């Protein structure tokens, strides 16, 4: 793909309101940071990168976006934030980005860091019986052994995510009578160990049902701990009561100033009723707008087009987001329709190599690629827009091709990718070459 260089550094700096930042350089970088071949970790220091490729605009032909303009810059980071962006100085004493593309770092917004085989010997999933309730029975048997090493395995899984460009995750964590609060405590240890290199928000997840296994007392305790969302799973199938389960979840979130993120796999009438009832409860409690998500929400993929539009419009108006793993096969989620109504769509790897799922690469850039393939987003413009699924809706260029990231003062959450532009990164799932978390080089 052609690397467009017709947009000048001067224009980029002007558009970015950076023209007065000057050309000062970081001094005193340690020798290991100056070698472009060395492996290093810098915590809380000052970084300067040269030969950084940034997107500067679109290339048009007869009104169509046919390419992405880029140029090379010198980028300085201090106190965890981007402090300067200036014309490139190829001979500067700085970390050599080698012309790799600088992108906003990625965010895995639906994963289970507390339950994985990753980092241990290979295991495929076992044959399932009796649906989700059968899996609950299996999990009750497995959890005591899994908990013995869940902290270490969570750390290994975090390292996998980092190698794929993610430095943030929303993790669901089991809260139920078998593990009680231990799964949460173990995961919090892992996150504490990784606090300088990885960020997270946690969902108290009643994997075994709110009432089916009486997780209520443990959820109430978890809600007072360092978690961000109250979770749930298939209120009708598991608990046999949509309104009772949703009412409890909503009230617990309100009482503890938390958000909501509910797993909903049900694709029939009960799934639709759950979505509609949750919309009703959020509208009754506007403080939950923008803080409520439905994970999976497979029922949307089973609705007739008119009903899809109706429900998507209501979700958008209620500011209820959808966390989708971009399923393939017979179930295609109406993501373009959700975007049409400004529904916040996020993605994640869900389970990675555990008793629920054998697969999972750790890459949300791959999820953006899959979405682009499923919905025919194959032009330069649409591929570049697809990147937002991986970055949590942050894009280097807006729809008009104006540079909007990075800006001075932005947190230095950065992924360097071996690609010429966002469109290529999505289309080719380009390799991540380095990751920076709030100014810390971690990969």
pLDDT per position as a tens digit, 97-110: 999 999 999 999 99
CB within 8 A of 434, min separation 6: which ones?
Answer: 97, 100, 415, 416, 441, 443
Low-confidence ranges of the chain (pLDDT < 50): 1-41
Question: How many C-alpha atoms does 290 have within 13 Å on its Cβ side?
Answer: 3
Q: What pLDDT score was predicted for residue 188?
A: 98
Q: Which residues have C-beta within 8 Å of that of residue 159, sequence separation ≥ 6? A: none
Per-residue DSSP letters for 36-58?
Answer: TT----B-S--EEEEEEEEEEEE
| The 345-347 sheet, strands edge to edge | 106-111, 166-174, 199-205, 229-233, 259-264, 292-296, 320-324, 345-347
* Distance set, CA 245 to CA 147, 232, 248, 274, 275 (Å): 27, 8, 5, 10, 13
d(CA 37, CA 101): 17
Q: Give the list of residues 6+ apart from residue 118 with CB closer than 8 angstroms, or none.
A: 153, 156, 157, 160, 352, 353, 354
Half-sphere exposure of 78 (CA within 13 A, CB side): 10
pLDDT (0 to 100) of residue 132: 82
Q: Which pLDDT score, from 0 to 100, does residue 44 have?
A: 53
pLDDT at 32: 33
Looking at the DSSP bridge assignments, the partners of residue 49 are 75, 95
Q: In a 10 Å sphere around its CB, with 0-12 CB exposed, 13-18 middle and 19+ buried, how is residue 94 labelled? A: buried
Q: What is the DSSP letter of 26?
A: -
What pLDDT shows up at residue 330? 86
Residue 144's pLDDT is 96
pLDDT at residue 336, as a whole number: 98
Q: Provide the whole-model pTM.
A: 0.90
DSSP-assigned letters across all residues of 377-402: --SHHHHHHHTHHHHTS--SB-TTS-
| Residue 318, pLDDT score | 98
On the question of a cis peptide bond just before residue 306, with omega within 30 degrees of 0, the verdict is: no
Contact assessment for residue 430 and residue 417, using Cβ atoms and an 8 Å cutoff:
yes
């Amino acid at each position: 793909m052609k690397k467009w260089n017709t947009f000048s550094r001067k224009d980029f700096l002007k558009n970015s309101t950076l023209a007065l930042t000057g050309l000062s350089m970081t001094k005193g970088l340690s020798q290991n940071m100056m070698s472009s071949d060395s492996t290093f970790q810098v915590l809380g220091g000052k970084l300067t990168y040269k030969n950084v490729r940034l997107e500067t605009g679109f290339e048009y032909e007869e009104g169509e976006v046919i390419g992405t303009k880029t140029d090379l810059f010198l980028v300085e980071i201090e106190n965890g934030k981007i402090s300067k962006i200036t014309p490139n100085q190829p001979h500067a004493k700085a970390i050599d980005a080698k012309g790799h593309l600088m992108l906003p770092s990625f965010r895995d917004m639906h994963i289970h860091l507390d339950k994985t085989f990753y980092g241990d010997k290979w295991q495929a999933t076992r044959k399932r019986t009796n649906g989700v309730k059968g899996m609950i029975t299996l999990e009750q048997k497995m959890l005591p052994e899994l908990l013995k090493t869940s902290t270490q395995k969570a750390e290994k899984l975090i390292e996998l995510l980092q190698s794929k460009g993610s430095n943030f995750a929303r993790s669901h964590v089991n809260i139920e009578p078998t593990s009680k609060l231990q799964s949460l405590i173990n995961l919090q240890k892992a996150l504490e160990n990784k606090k300088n290199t990885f960020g997270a928000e946690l969902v108290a997840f009643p994997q075994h049902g709110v009432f089916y296994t009486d997780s209520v007392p443990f959820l109430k305790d978890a809600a007072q701990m360092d978690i961000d969302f109250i979770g749930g799973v298939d209120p009708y199938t598991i608990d046999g009561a949509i309104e009772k389960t949703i009412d409890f979840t909503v009230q617990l979130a309100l009482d503890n100033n938390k958000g909501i993120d509910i797993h909903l796999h049900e694709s029939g009438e009960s799934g639709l009723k759950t979505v509609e009832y949750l919309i009703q409860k959020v509208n009754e409690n506007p403080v939950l707008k923008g803080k409520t998500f439905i994970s999976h929400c497979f029922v949307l993929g089973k609705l007739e087009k008119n009903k899809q539009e109706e429900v998507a419009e209501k979700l958008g108006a209620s500011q209820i987001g959808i966390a989708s793993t971009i399923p393939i096969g017979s179930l295609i989620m109406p993501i373009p329709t959700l975007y049409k109504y400004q529904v916040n769509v996020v993605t994640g790897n869900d389970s990675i190599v555990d008793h629920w799922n054998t697969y999972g690469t750790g890459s949300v850039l791959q999820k953006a690629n899959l979405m682009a393939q499923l919905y025919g987003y194959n032009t330069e413009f649409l591929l570049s827009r697809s990147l937002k699924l991986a970055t949590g809706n942050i894009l280097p260029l807006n729809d008009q091709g104006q540079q909007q990231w990075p800006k001075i003062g932005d947190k230095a959450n950065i992924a360097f990718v071996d690609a010429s532009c966002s469109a290529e990164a999505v289309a080719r799932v380009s390799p991540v070459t380095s990751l920076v978390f709030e100014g810390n080089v971690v990969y």
